Amino acid sequence: MIKIVVLGTGNVAYHFIKAFAQTENAEVVQVYNHDIESLKYYTEYATTTSISDILKADLYLICIKDDKVLNVANSIPFNENSIVAHVSGSVPLLKTKHRDAVFYPLQTFSKDKDVSFSQLPLCIETEFPSDYDKLSLLAESLGSKVYNVNSQQRQELHLAAVFVCNFVNHLYHIGDDICSRKELPFDILKPLIKETAEKIFTKKPLEAQTGPAKRSDETTIQRHLEQLNRSQYKDLYRYLTTSIQNLYESKKL
C-alpha cells in the first residue's frame, strides 16, 4: 500500500482524497493546508496539519495553485525514497532535491459534483522510470487510463483543454444570458448541447461543424449581430464566425 500526503484542499485535492479512500492500494495519511478552516472537511479521511509538520510518506501529492507548486515542493522534508508529484497541467516537471513527478488528471473538478476516475485520463511524467511504474499502478487502482505524457505535451494538452472546456463553458454562459434576457429557460438548449458533444465521439470536430458561419449565411449572421446588444458578445461572435469561415474556405482550396 502506498502512503500519501496530499498538500492542498481545493477541488482536485478533494476528489483525489475521496478516490484514494476507495482503493485498497492507497492510504492518505495526512492532508496539509495553511488554512486551518479548510482542513475540517478532511478529518474523516486522514490526520490534518496547517504547519510544516508533514508526515513521512511514499508520495507527496501537491494539489495547489500553479504559482505555489515549486515553493511547496521545496518545503517538503527530503526522503530519498519518496516521490513528490504535482497535479498541474501547465507546470513542467520540477527539478528539485526530490524524486520529482507529475500526476495530472485531465478533468474539470467541482466539489459539488462526483467524478468517476474510471472515466478520467491520468497523465504521468517522472524523473525516474521506476517511479513511473509506481504511479501507473496507483492510477490503475483508481480505474483511470494512464498516459505517458512529457512536460511539453502536457502543456499543449492543457492549452487544448482550455479551449474545449473553459472557453466552451463561457459560451454556455453567454447562451444562458441571451436566453434569460428574453425569459427563455436555458434548459431548452440542453438537448442541443448534448447532441453536439456526442457527435465528436463518432466524428472529428471538423466534420461535425454546422451553422451559419460554415454555410456562409450572411443574412443570418448580420441578423444575429443586430440582435446582440453587448459589444463584447458582438466581438466574440464576429471573431468566431470569421475563424470558422476562414477554416472552411481554406478546405475548399
As a whole number, mean pLDDT of residues 45-65 equals 91
**pLDDT(34) > 80:** yes
Q: Residue 146: which residues within 8 A CB-CB, separation 6 or more? A: 121, 122, 124, 136, 139, 140
Q: b/e string for 164-173 if b means 16 or more Cβ within 10 A?
A: eeeeeeeeee
Structure confidence at residue 52 as a pLDDT band (50, 70, 90)? confident
Look at residue 146 in the predicted model and tell me its pLDDT. Answer: 96
- pLDDT: which is higher, 251 or 13: 13
Render pLDDT for 162-187 as a digit per residue (tens, 0 to 9). 999 999 999 999 999 999 999 999 99
CATH for 154-252 (1.10.1040.20, 3.90.230.10, 3.40.50.261, 1.10.10.370): 1.10.1040.20
Helix axes of 168-181 and 231-252: crossing angle, nearest 10 degrees: 130
Look at residue 105 in the predicted model and tell me its pLDDT. Answer: 96
Look at residue 51 in the predicted model and tell me its pLDDT. Answer: 78
Look at residue 119 in the predicted model and tell me its pLDDT. Answer: 82
Q: To the nearest 5 percent, what fractions of the chain are helix, strand and coil?
A: 50, 15, 35
CA distance linking residue 61 with residue 98, whole number of Å: 12
Delimit the domains of the chain by residue range.
Answer: 2-149, 154-252
As a whole number, mean pLDDT of residues 4-32 equals 94
Supply the mean pLDDT for the chain. 94
Look at residue 70 in the predicted model and tell me its pLDDT. Answer: 95
**pLDDT(253) > 90:** no
Cell 522534508: give the residue. 77
- pLDDT: which is higher, 84 or 44: 84
**pLDDT(214) > 90:** yes
Could you name the CATH architecture of 2-149? Answer: 3-Layer(aba) Sandwich (3.40)
The number of residues in the chain equals 253
Q: Do the first three CATH levels of 2-149 and 154-252 match, i.e. the same topology? A: no
Q: Cell triple for residue 110? A: 467541482
